[in-house]
Every structure is written in C-alpha cells, then in structure tokens.
Amino acid sequence: MVKLVILIEPQENVRLFEENWPQFLHYAEEMPGLVREATSQVEATLFGRSYQLMHELFFASRQDMEGAMASPTGQAAGRLLQQITGGGLTLFFADYKEDDIENIRKYRPGSGE
C-alpha cells in the first residue's frame, strides 16, 4: 500500500482555508483508486517545522496513486489545495505498512513462538 501525505503549514488566511477545505475533501474523495483517508490535527510540534494538519490518502499501489493524481478530480484537488494554502504545504509519497501491537509482540524473543 502507498499513501500520499499532505502536511499543511499554519495558514495566514484561516478563513480561506476553512471555507474551502470541504471542497478539497470532496475532490480528493472522488479520486479513482482511493482506498481510505485520514486527517490529523497537529496539536503540538516537538521539533522541526510546524504544521497544523496532516492529511493522508491511501492507495493500493503507486500506479493507482499516480493515476488518481492525474485524474480530473485529482488535478482539481491539487489546484484547490495550492490555492487555499498559498503553497504552504509539503507533499510526499510513502510506502505504507501497518501492524497491530498484539501481532508484533508474538514475534519478540521470549514470547513462546
């Protein structure tokens, strides 16, 4: 699985961002191949650059993600995101794997397996 991670910096024009964020979500949620999404409000920065929001779009493969970004709704989402953030954002792709702690603990030394 792969995800597109969007890190949004604190916005100078909060009203513009808040009024248009639902439209961005609408576009993003219509992207072909989207498996799921997650939004996190950043509560505190411990070190490094400050961000106010992290949004993640999950896809089965990089090919699916690239196709989604090239689609009409993906292009519209990208344009709107640039407009409402004034370019104050970071985008990156990440190979994504997930496991729950119960499964991880099964394979630790001394776990009996």
pLDDT at 91: 95
User: Has residue 111 been placed in a domain?
Assistant: no
**Looking at residue 8, which CATH number applies to its domain?**
3.30.70.100
Tell whether the model's pLDDT for residue 99 goes beyond 60. Answer: yes
Mean pLDDT along residues 62-77: 97
> Could you tell me if residue 95 is inside a domain?
yes
* The predicted structure's pLDDT at residue 49: 92
Residue 19 forms part of a structural domain: yes
- Average pLDDT for 2-23: 95
The range of the structural domain enclosing residue 42 comes to 2-106
In whole angstroms, give the CA distance from residue 78 to residue 38: 17
What single-letter amino acid sits at 2? V
DSSP string, 50-92: --SEEEEEEESSHHHHHHHHHSHHHHHHHHHHHHHHTT-EEEE
Asked if the structure places residue 113 within a domain, the reply is no
Please tell me the least confidently modeled range out of 13-27, 39-53, 63-77, 98-112.
98-112
For residue 72, being part of any structural domain is answered with yes
Overall number of domains in the chain: 1
In-domain check, residue 57: yes
Percentage of residues in the chain having pLDDT higher than 70: 97
Structure tokens at 98: 């997930």
Nearest to 7 by CA among 35, 48, 63: 48
Token digits for 100? 């729950």
Looking at this protein, which amino acid is placed at residue 54?
M
Is 112 contained in some domain?
no
State the pTM of this model.
Answer: 0.85
In-domain check, residue 18 = yes
